[in-house]
Amino acid sequence: MISLLILLLAAGQIAPPDTGPAVPAPPAPPAAVRAFDTPNDAGKSITLRWSADTLARSLLIERTGPDSTTIIATTEPGETGYLDEQVMDRVRYTYRIAAVGDGDTVWSASTAEVSSTPQLFNTNRINILIAMVIFFVMVIYFIETAKRGRSLFVRRIAGLDAVEEAVGRATEMGRPIVYVPGLGSVADIATIASLNILGEVAKKTAQYDSALLVPNRDPIVYTVAREMVKESYTKAGRPDAFRNDSVFFVTDQQFAYAAAVDGLMVREKPATNFFLGMFWAESLILAETGAQTGAIQIAGTDSVFQLPFFITACDYTLIGEELYAASAYLSREPLLLGSLKGQDYGKMIILAIVVIGSALLLLSRTPSLAFFGRILDFFNVS
């Protein structure tokens, strides 16, 4: 994505193909030759700029260091800049550029002394720092207010109201619930959200005393899931009801795992299937087989490519962020509700920036307000 933008900016600098014969008159020396320490870099680099309106055959770049004067590069006449990366930090250099004509070479005036230094802060990324500070302050502020007991409202999420009903249904029919915590690792946000929801669902299966099956693909997620379910059963006051083989590791191979869970669903005929977390191409195999067994299916993922299959094949689908909000919604835990509120305000700020920014940018068409055009550059990334 980043390179996308650099490329678009680079569009303007396509060097025009060099056409036309060199005029025999002696070329004028390059004008406005400037040298400065390359900004926002790790040092050892000096940038040269000049306006070459000469019709020379080529240009010579000469650097004068404390102990030597050498010609470091020859470039095409069309070039107007050069990056010298063979310099040492904190050493003073001066530069000269020559336009080479048919018989003679004309030198420009040499630049002022310049030395290269590494920078401690990348000023191009100030916009990201501002965005980070604003968002962090908001999330932490709302978590603190939630801690002080202020109740925070969360809108109804269809898929999650069905959890209560789905667990009840499983108990009446005396059939198990299959909970697939996704195929991601513990470092994936969707897996963390899914494990939190598993904790809530386990509390309900403990209360209703219905069977719960949790097949895992990642060995580490397996250990975390087992702890989560055991803890939920003790919190629900039913430590004895926890069955050791309800949470188990299957295989970490994507399609072998999908085939194994399919076999489980066809054999056990669960009343409810949960598919919450990270999914890839196997989402379709699980959702389609699950639909055949007649179970209620509640799915949720942040993977845009897999959501279409869940939406068409499952009864309820949590789209992207709804999966993250689910654990806050089910647990009503102040910390989670607080951060959810922070995210909502983050979205509001983004919308405000987009609307106001667009209005100003459109106004910048009128010459007097042209400076609004620079809003776009503020959002450049590098």
Q: Binders of other proteins among 75-104, rule CB under 8 A? A: none
When binding is defined by CB under 8 A, the residue of 143, 180, 202, 261 that contacts other proteins is 143
CB closer to other proteins, 68 vs 156: 156
Pick from 113, 161, 355, 374 the residue near other proteins by CB under 8 A.
355
Residue 85 CB partners (closer than 8 Å, separation 6+): 44, 45
Shortest CB 375 distance to other proteins, Å: 8
- What is the SS3 assignment for 298? strand
Neighbouring CB atoms inside 10 A of 230's CB total: 16
Nearer to other proteins, 211 or 323 (CB): 323
Out of 98, 100, 177, 228, name the contact with other proteins by CB under 8 A. 228
Asked if 183 and 217 count as a contact pair (C-beta separation under 8 A), the reply is yes
Using the rule CB under 8 A, which residue among 24, 25, 68, 156 binds other proteins? 156
Instruction: Indicate whether 271 belongs to the interface with other proteins (CB under 8 A).
Output: no
Q: Which of residues 314-333 bind other proteins (CB under 8 A)?
A: 319-322, 324-325, 329
Ranges within 169-188 binding other proteins (CB under 8 A): 186-187
- Written as six digits, the tokens of 181 are 């915590």
Q: In what side-by-side order are the strands of the sheet with 177-180?
A: 247-249, 212-216, 177-180, 272-276, 296-301, 316-319
For residues 268 and 321, which CB has a smaller minimum distance to other proteins in the complex? 321
Q: Would you count residue 136 as binding other proteins (CB under 8 A)?
A: yes
**Residues 191 to 210 in contact with other proteins, rule: CB under 8 A:** 192-193, 195-196
Residue choice 256, 269, 294, 332 for contact with other proteins (CB under 8 A): 256
Q: Strand 46-51's sheet: what is its strand order? A: 31-37, 46-51, 81-84
| Residues in Cβ contact with 97 at an 8 Å cutoff, skipping those fewer than 6 apart | 29, 30, 33, 48, 50, 59, 60, 61, 62, 107, 108
Binding flag, residue 308, other proteins (CB under 8 A): yes
Question: By CB neighbour count within 10 A (0-12 exposed, 13-18 middle, 19+ buried), where does 112 fall?
Answer: exposed
From candidates 51, 71, 288, 332, binder to other proteins by CB under 8 A? 288
The span from the CA of 122 to the CA of 119, in Å, is 7
Among 81, 85, 227, 332, binds other proteins (CB under 8 A): 227
If the CB atoms of residues 110 and 364 are measured against other proteins, the closer one turns out to be 364
Q: Helix H segments across the chain?
A: 2-10, 126-147, 158-173, 189-208, 219-235, 254-268, 283-292, 307-313, 321-331, 334-363, 374-378
CA–CA separation, 186 and 318 (whole Å):
20
Considering beta carbons, is residue 108 or 116 the nearer one to other proteins? 116
238 counts as binding other proteins under rule CB under 8 A: no
What is the SS3 assignment for 339-382? HHHHHHHHHHHHHHHHHHHHHHHHHCCCHHHHHHHHHHHHCCCC
Sole window of 49-57, 103-111, 267-275, 280-288 interacting with other proteins (rule: CB under 8 A)? 280-288
Which one, 32 or 129, has the nearer CB to other proteins? 129
Question: How many of the other CB atoms lie within 10 Å of CB of 273?
Answer: 26
291 touches other proteins by CB under 8 A: yes
CB of 251 to other proteins, least distance (A): 7
The answer to the question of residue 46 lying near other proteins (CB under 8 A) is no
Binding residues for other proteins, rule CB under 8 A, total: 110
Identify which of residues 102 and 288 has a Cβ nearer to other proteins in the complex. Answer: 288
Nearest to other proteins of 45, 64 (CB atom)? 45
Establish if 374 lies at the interface with other proteins (CB under 8 A): no
Spatial distance between the Cα atoms of 40 and 127, rounded to a whole number of angstroms: 14
Identified binder of other proteins from the candidate list 127, 137, 165, 172, rule CB under 8 A: 127
Only one residue has tokens 């102040």, namely 334
The label of the residue with tokens 């209620």 reads: 296
4 sits near other proteins (criterion: CB under 8 A): yes
Q: Which is nearer to other proteins, 29 or 199 (CB)?
A: 199
Question: Is 309 one of the binding residues for other proteins (CB under 8 A)?
Answer: yes
Q: Give the span between the Cα atoms of 103 and 277, in whole angstroms.
A: 72
